[in-house]
Amino acid sequence: MTTQTGAALSPAAKDADKAPKTVKGSPKWGDLVLRIVAGLVLLYLFLPIFVIILFSFNDPKGKFNYSWQGFTLKNWLDPFKYPPLTDALLLSINVAAVSTAIALVLGSLVAVALVRQRFRGSQTVDTFLVLPLTAPEVVMGASLLVLFLDLGWATGYVTILLAHIAFEVSFIAMTVRARMRGFDWTLEDASMDLGANPTRTFFKVTLPLIVPGIIAAGMLSFALSLDDFIITYFVSGSSVTYPLYVNASVKASVPPQINVLATAILLISLLLLGVGTLYRRKRLDV
Amino acid sequence: MAGVAASSRQRSKIAPYLMIAPALIYLAIFFVWPVISLAMTSLSTAGGSVFLPTMEFGWKFSNYSEAFSKYQDQILRSFGYAIVATLVCLLLAYPLAYVIAFKAGRYKNLILGLVILPFFVTFLIRTIAWKTILADDGWVVSALDSVGLLPSDGRLLSTSWAVIGGLIYNWIIFMILPLYVSLEKIDPRLIEATKDLYSSNTRSFTKVIMPLSMPGVFAGSLLVFIPAAGDFINASYLGSTQTTMIGNVIQQQFLVVKDYPAAAALSMVLMVIILVGVLAYTRALGTEDLV
Domain boundaries, chain B: 1-31, 62-285
CB contact under 8 A, A136 and B125: no
Q: What is the model's pLDDT at position A81?
A: 82
Please tell me the distance in Å from A96's CA to the nearest CA on chain B.
Answer: 14
- The answer to whether B216 and B178 have CB atoms below 8 angstroms apart is yes
Cβ of residue A24 closer than 8 Å to a chain B Cβ:
yes
Mutation target among B51, B110, B122 for the A interface, most CBs of A within 10 A: B122
Residue B103 has its nearest CB partner, among A35, A223, A258, at A35
Interval A226-257: pLDDT, tens: 989 999 999 998 899 999 999 998 888 788 88
Among the partner-chain residues A48, A169, A266, the one whose CB lies closest to the CB of B27 is A169
The answer to whether A226 contacts chain B (CB < 8 Å) is: yes
Residue A12 is nearest to which of B26, B105, B255, comparing CB atoms?
A: B105
The winner for highest mean pLDDT among B5-19, B157-171, B273-287 is B157-171
> Closest to B95 (Cβ–Cβ): which among A41, A128, A140?
A41
- CATH number for the domain whose boundaries are B62-285: 1.10.3720.10
Q: Are B230 and A136 in contact (CB under 8 A)?
A: yes
Residues of A whose CB is below 8 A from B101 = none
Exposed, middle or buried, B252 (CB in 10 Å: 0-12/13-18/19+)?
middle
Which residue of A lies nearest to B21 if distances are taken between CA atoms? A110
**Dihedrals phi, psi of B14, to nearest 5 degrees:** -100, -20
Question: How far A142 CA lies from chain B's nearest CA (Å)?
Answer: 7
Check whether A132 has a pLDDT greater than 80. yes
Nearest to B267 among A34, A107, A142 (CB): A142
For residue A163, give the nearest of B173, B119, B29, B41 by alpha carbon: B29
With beta carbons under 8 A apart, name residues in chain B contacting A242: 122
A162·B19 Cβ contact <8 A:
no
Contact: A250, B124; criterion CB under 8 Å: yes
Contacts of A144 in chain B (CB under 8 A): 30, 34
What are the chain A neighbours of B137 within 8 Å (beta carbons)? 67
Domains along chain A with CATH numbers: 2-55 (no CATH), 83-254 (1.10.3720.10)
Would you say residue B289 has pLDDT above 60? no
Please answer yes or no on whether B278 and A13 come within 8 Å at the CB atom. no
* pLDDT exceeds cutoff 90 at B106: no
A-chain residues within 8 Å CB-CB of B131? 66
Interface predicted TM-score of the whole assembly (ipTM), two decimals = 0.83
A257's enclosing H/E stretch is helix A257-285
Burial B136-150 (b: 16+ CB within 10 A, else e): eebebbeeeeeeeeb
Establish if A53 touches chain B: CB-CB under 8 angstroms.
Answer: no
Q: Taking residues B74-89, report their average pLDDT.
A: 94
Reported as a single tens digit per residue, the pLDDT across A20-42 is 444 444 557 778 899 999 999 99
- pTM of this prediction? 0.83
Q: What is the DSSP letter of A204?
A: I
Sign, Cα dihedral of A37, A39, A45, A46: negative
Cβ contact A233–B255 (<8 Å): yes
- With 50 as the cut, is the pLDDT of residue A13 above it? no
Query: Which of B79, B112, B291 would you mutate first to test chain A, the one with the most A CBs within 10 A?
Result: B291
CB contact under 8 A, A259 and B125: yes
User: DSSP characters for chain B?
Assistant: -HHHHHHHHHHHHHHHHHHHHHHHHHHIIIIIHHHHHHHHHHTEEEEE-SSSEEEEE---THHHHHHHHHSHHHHHHHHHHHHHHHHHHHHHHHHHHHIIIII-GGGHHHHHHHHHGGGGS-HHHHHHHHHHHT-TTSHHHHHHHHTT-S-TT--STTSHHHHHHHHHHHHTHHHHHHHHHHHHTS-HHHHHHHHHTT--HHHHIIIIIHHHTHHHHHHHHHHHHHHHHH--HHHHHH--GGG--HHHHHHHIIIII--HHHHHHHHHHHHHHHHHHHHHHHHHH-STTT-
Is residue A189's pLDDT more than 70? yes
Is the pLDDT assigned to residue A261 strictly greater than 50?
A: yes
